[in-house]
Amino acid sequence: MVDVPIELGPRGGSPMMPDSRPLTAPPQFHVLAKPTGPICNLDCSYCFFLEKEALYPGDRFRMAESVMETYIRQVIESQVGPEITIAWQGGEPTLMGVDFFRRAVAYAEECAGPQRTLHHTIQTNGTLLTDEWCAFLREKQFLVGISIDGPPALHDTYRVDKQGRPTFARVHAGLDRLKAAGVEWNVLCTVHAANQDSPLEVYKYFRDDLGASFVQFIPIVERIHEARPELTERSVDPDAWGRFLIAVFDEWTRHDVGEVFVQMFDAALASWYGAPAALCIFGETCGNAVALEHNGDLYSCDHFVDPEHLLGNIMETHMVELLASAPQRDFGTAKRDSLPQQCRECPVLFACRGECPKNRVRRTSSGEAGLNHLCAGYLAFFTHIDGVMRLMVDAVRRGGHAGEVMTMFAAAGRNDSCPCGSGRKTKHCHG
């Protein structure tokens, strides 16, 4: 399990309890369920979730049927719209075995009834995917997120098994099975010290070698001790993070808009368009993305699975009530209310929002606490993309397509001036 920013689904409306009492829960929320808790068959060096084993000493970390059914039933009860997402993550969720998920899907279908559409998602390291697994995932139309950090040498730097052995070949074999079975999949790539200086090598590998059409990049920001701000040497460097995003963005705007979806760029476009944040990290507040442990404990967020952020247990209290609770509301608004002055005055605040509070381990130049470790990278990235984002938004508002920028870049390449309107030469500007 790695740091996954939560993609907020298109859900809305008033959540309803089984007895139809409307509650004042957030208008949309997302639950990441961990049926094996933090347990994983691999031992990736940067994985923050393995240490969470200490929260439940002596536990077997297997979600009971009663918890699985309660999770599914409550998610379905809480959504009034026709689309419902059931999300699984880990640890490594496939360790539960395919039959657990067969029962989960059957139960979800029974609860949802024929009028509503279920979307099933699972995040996996891919190493345990058999043909039987893939046939099931295809039949039930799962969206499978697969964790790969680039080509073999870059992937294997930190993504190793419990014996310290590389895992790339096993991940690739799992992906091949997914593809052969026709399962919908996407790539989740963490960016860290080992691959931060190879943005195009990584991106082109996903696009050209794997044939990926949906890619998420997740920065690794890893504390040495949970209570202290110092970061490990594996953590991504802020400036390198900015350079990484810029290099991929420039490649993407030249060739791939509309063909390859890079989650970070879609989220940026939403911000420039004035739409609600598509990712929690770029939202003004938090609180709508909770984590469900194997025993029914519900936590404020996947990144805050600790005693202080335990909201309660869904076997005792409906998750809608827990989401609407004062501690969760306070957790959510703290993201906005704790922003340092430097962020409040920042020209790209509308897009960045100080990113995830988990990463706010630095001080501003005036010494104020709470600045994001990745600030320099985001400032560089969002500043860099401003001109092109405006062009894309203009195109969309005119009824066109954001991909029109590729045509503009092609034309600009012939006269060497950037289409963003800056008057600068293409090679010195956004491309």
Determine if 242 is a binding residue for ligand SF4 (CB under 6 A): no
Q: How far is the CB of 299 from ligand SF4 (least distance, A)?
A: 10
Q: How far is the CB of 227 from ligand SF4 (least distance, A)?
A: 17
Pick the binder of ligand SF4 from 303, 318, 384, 430 (CB under 6 A): 303
Contact letters for ligand SF4, residues 339-358 (x by CB under 6 A): ---xx--x-xx--x-xxxxx
Determine if 264 is a binding residue for ligand SF4 (CB under 6 A): no
Torsion over CA: 90, 91, 97, 98 (sign)? positive
Report d(CA 346, CA 383) in Å as an integer. 11
Determine if 6 is a binding residue for ligand SF4 (CB under 6 A): yes
Beta bridge partners of 300: none
Determine if 301 is a binding residue for ligand SF4 (CB under 6 A): yes
Tell me if 268 sits within 8 A of 430, measured CB to CB: no
Pick the binder of ligand SF4 from 25, 75, 257, 286 (CB under 6 A): 286
Structure tokens at 276: 């609600």
Using CB atoms within 10 Å of the CB of residue 21, give its burial: 0 to 12 exposed, 13 to 18 middle, 19+ buried: exposed
Report d(CA 393, CA 238) in Å as an integer. 27
Report d(CA 419, CA 406) in Å as an integer. 10
Report d(CA 280, CA 288) in Å as an integer. 8
Q: How far is the CB of 352 from ligand SF4 (least distance, A)?
A: 3
Structure tokens at 311: 């909201």
Determine if 1 is a binding residue for ligand SF4 (CB under 6 A): no
Q: How far is the CB of 343 from ligand SF4 (least distance, A)?
A: 3
Which of 257/356 has CB closer to ligand SF4?
356
Which of 154/319 has CB closer to ligand SF4?
319
Q: How far is the CB of 292 from ligand SF4 (least distance, A)?
A: 14
Determine if 289 is a binding residue for ligand SF4 (CB under 6 A): yes
**101, amino acid identity:** F
Structure tokens at 372: 């994001």
Report d(CA 387, CA 391) in Å as an integer. 6
Which of 138/223 has CB closer to ligand SF4?
223
Determine if 430 is a binding residue for ligand SF4 (CB under 6 A): no
Which of 14/341 has CB closer to ligand SF4?
341
Number of residues that bind ligand SF4 (CB under 6 A): 24
Report d(CA 70, CA 312) in Å as an integer. 14
Hey, how many other C-beta atoms are within 10 angstroms of the C-beta on 330? 12
Hey, how many other C-beta atoms are within 10 angstroms of the C-beta on 237? 21
Neighbouring C-alpha atoms within 13 Å toward the C-beta of 19? 2
Classified as helix, coil or strand, 207 is helix
Which of 52/303 has CB closer to ligand SF4?
303
Place of tokens 């990144």: 303
Which of 129/356 has CB closer to ligand SF4?
356
Q: How far is the CB of 281 from ligand SF4 (least distance, A)?
A: 4
Which of 220/356 has CB closer to ligand SF4?
356
Which of 62/363 has CB closer to ligand SF4?
363
Pick the binder of ligand SF4 from 39, 281, 322, 406 (CB under 6 A): 281
Report d(CA 385, CA 391) in Å as an integer. 10
Determine if 5 is a binding residue for ligand SF4 (CB under 6 A): yes
Beta strands at 83-88 and 143-147: parallel, antiparallel or unpaired: unpaired
Which of 6/236 has CB closer to ligand SF4?
6
Q: How far is the CB of 383 from ligand SF4 (least distance, A)?
A: 9
Q: How far is the CB of 267 from ligand SF4 (least distance, A)?
A: 12
> By CB under 6 A, what part of segment 370-389 binds ligand SF4?
372, 375, 378-379
> By CB under 6 A, what part of segment 307-336 binds ligand SF4?
335
Tell me if 225 sits within 8 A of 185, measured CB to CB: no
- 302 part of the active site: yes
Report d(CA 352, CA 360) in Å as an integer. 13
Active-site residue (options: 3, 156, 256, 302): 302
Beta bridge partners of 30: 289
**Residue 78: closest CA among 3, 118, 25, 4:** 25
Determine if 154 is a binding residue for ligand SF4 (CB under 6 A): no
The residue ranges that bind ligand SF4 (CB under 6 A) are: 5-6, 280-281, 286, 289, 301, 303, 335, 342-343, 346, 348-349, 352, 354-358, 372, 375, 378-379
Could you give the residue numbers annotated as active site?
Answer: 302
